[in-house]
Amino acid sequence: MDIFFNSFSNQVFLWLVKNKHLVIKLFFLAHILQAINILTAAFFVARIADGNEIGVLFYDLGGKFGTLAALAFLVTTTPGIAKRFGIRHPVFNIVQTFRRHFGIATFLLTFTHYAVLRLVPMMTWQSFSLPPFRETLGFFAFCLFFVMFITSNDLSMKRLGKWWGRLHSVAYVIIWLVFAHVALEEIGLLTLLLGVYAITEWVSLIYFWTKKKPLIPANVGPTLVSPSSSTPNTAVATPTRNQI
């Protein structure tokens, strides 16, 4: 069964790589549709106070958009975790190849979740109030997602250089913010999944750093050899292999 799955995964990966431009176009189409969905949801949710039933439907779906965003985020983190542990599989290669677009989809779903449940209602029919702590954590996660979103392009990678990777390492913080945001509402399957991923990601980082750290050779002093006949009563210091 595993052999069949690996073979199938390889075939899918090869087809996706061969048709990479087509797949990217489909991703862009999905991003455009999601952007339209955000605008549509905002339009109807803003009219909930007038008894708009479609707006109520979008508002009720706000939590589902957040769940999809969390799952999409976990998908984007999986190849990095696997790579640090030295795990190779065609499925991870597929995600890694289109990781940028999975990240864009994550942000758009996150934005939909925030806009439907908080931003649009606060700007239209809901009176302003200080958000609870879990929403504050979610807002910080959203801001970090936004930073990653606007820098997920070749130009940003070129301009930022090594700082681009350091900037996107905020994903290690985001996963804990998302975990706390969800956990403070309820403990369910998604909460457990986020917790496992958060712990596994940091364990993979520690494992990678430990494995990458070079071994420090022992500090061995000079070795004394017996004096030769030509140099009586003289100790000659011979450098060890570590000193050469």
Q: How many CB atoms lie within 10 A of CB 231?
A: 9
For residue 139, the enclosing domain spans: 2-243
Tally of domains within the chain = 1
Beta strands in 42-198 (DSSP E): none
What is the three-class DSSP state of 224?
strand
Q: What pTM was computed for the model?
A: 0.82
Q: How many CB atoms lie within 10 A of CB 172?
A: 14
DSSP symbol at 25: H
**Number of helical H runs and strand E runs in the chain:** 12, 2
Burial per residue of 95-106, b for 16 or more beta-carbon CB atoms within 10 angstroms, e otherwise: bbbbbbbbbbbb
Residue type at position 123: M
Note down pLDDT in tens along the chain; length 244 residues: 567 667 888 898 899 999 999 999 999 999 999 999 999 999 999 999 999 999 999 999 999 999 999 999 999 999 999 999 999 888 999 999 999 999 999 999 999 999 999 999 999 998 888 889 999 999 999 999 999 999 998 999 999 999 999 999 999 999 999 999 999 999 999 999 999 999 999 999 999 999 876 545 544 444 444 454 444 444 444 444 444 4
